């Protein structure tokens, strides 16, 4: 019985590790080219907070900079009601270029972040596996250097999100807004 339980736990752990490894990372990732201003164009997630807040979400601005230690400082500014809210996150580099980790100080959730694909000048596709005590979820973000992207890039985001197991009602092309865009430093 104990051996069977250990086998099941081992397979579950192996499945979890395989799921994290199955998310690709940009080949020959160049971190310095990812820095600067980005607009969030698409967001997909199977998390409860996304399902609850999806109808309120709008495009936001994200500024990415590199710290002296080689980590990424990610500052996002987005509209929330009549205010502009700014969130700062520190993505810690891992041994694999293009992959980062982040622990939310607010929720304690652990984020395994993959820069899946980018051409640095137009778009970036980022996938995150999130784990916390209540379970795990997947989030996919599509960033653009401008407020619009081609239908082909939007379709690439939608298709990749589906490949991560997300359904069409968990995939959102964020509505454009001018609110809080100038507030992002």
Query: Alpha-carbon torsion 151, 152, 157, 160, what sign?
Result: positive
* Predicted local confidence at residue 16, as pLDDT: 41
Tell me what pLDDT residue 184 has: 53
Q: What residues contact 172, with CB distance under 8 A and at least 6 apart?
A: 42, 43, 44, 54, 57
Topology of the domain comprising 2-173: Lipocalin (2.40.128)
Choosing from 34, 41, 60, 116, the catalytic residue is 60
Rounded distance between C-alpha atoms, residue 133 and residue 63, angstroms: 30
pLDDT tens track, the chain, 185 positions = 444 433 443 434 334 444 445 899 999 999 999 999 999 999 999 998 898 988 889 999 999 999 999 999 999 998 888 899 999 999 999 999 999 999 988 888 999 999 999 999 999 999 999 998 888 999 999 999 999 999 999 999 999 999 999 999 999 999 998 888 875 55
**Distances 153 to 4, 8, 41, 45, 150 between C-alpha atoms, Å:** 46, 40, 10, 18, 5
At 92 the pLDDT is: 98
So what's the pLDDT on residue 68? 95
Q: Is 180 tagged catalytic? A: no
Q: Where are the domains of the chain?
A: 2-173
């Amino acid at each position: 019985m104990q051996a069977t339980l250990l086998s099941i736990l081992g397979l579950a752990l192996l499945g979890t590790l395989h799921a994290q490894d199955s998310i690709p990372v940009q080949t020959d990732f160049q971190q310095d080219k990812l820095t600067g201003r980005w607009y969030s164009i698409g967001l997909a997630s199977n998390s409860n907070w996304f399902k609850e807040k999806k109808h309120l979400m709008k495009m936001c601005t994200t500024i990415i900079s590199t710290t002296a230690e080689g980590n990424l400082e990610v500052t996002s500014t987005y509209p929330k009601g009549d205010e502009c809210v700014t969130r700062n996150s520190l993505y810690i580099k891992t041994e694999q270029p293009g992959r980062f980790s982040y622990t939310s100080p607010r929720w304690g959730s652990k984020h395994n972040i993959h820069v899946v694909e980018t051409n640095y000048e137009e778009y970036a596709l980022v996938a995150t596996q999130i784990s916390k005590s209540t379970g795990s979820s997947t989030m996919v973000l599509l960033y653009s250097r401008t407020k619009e992207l081609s239908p082909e890039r939007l379709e690439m985001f939608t298709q990749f999100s589906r490949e991560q197991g997300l359904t069409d009602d968990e995939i959102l092309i964020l509505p454009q807004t001018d609110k809080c865009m100038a507030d992002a430093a």
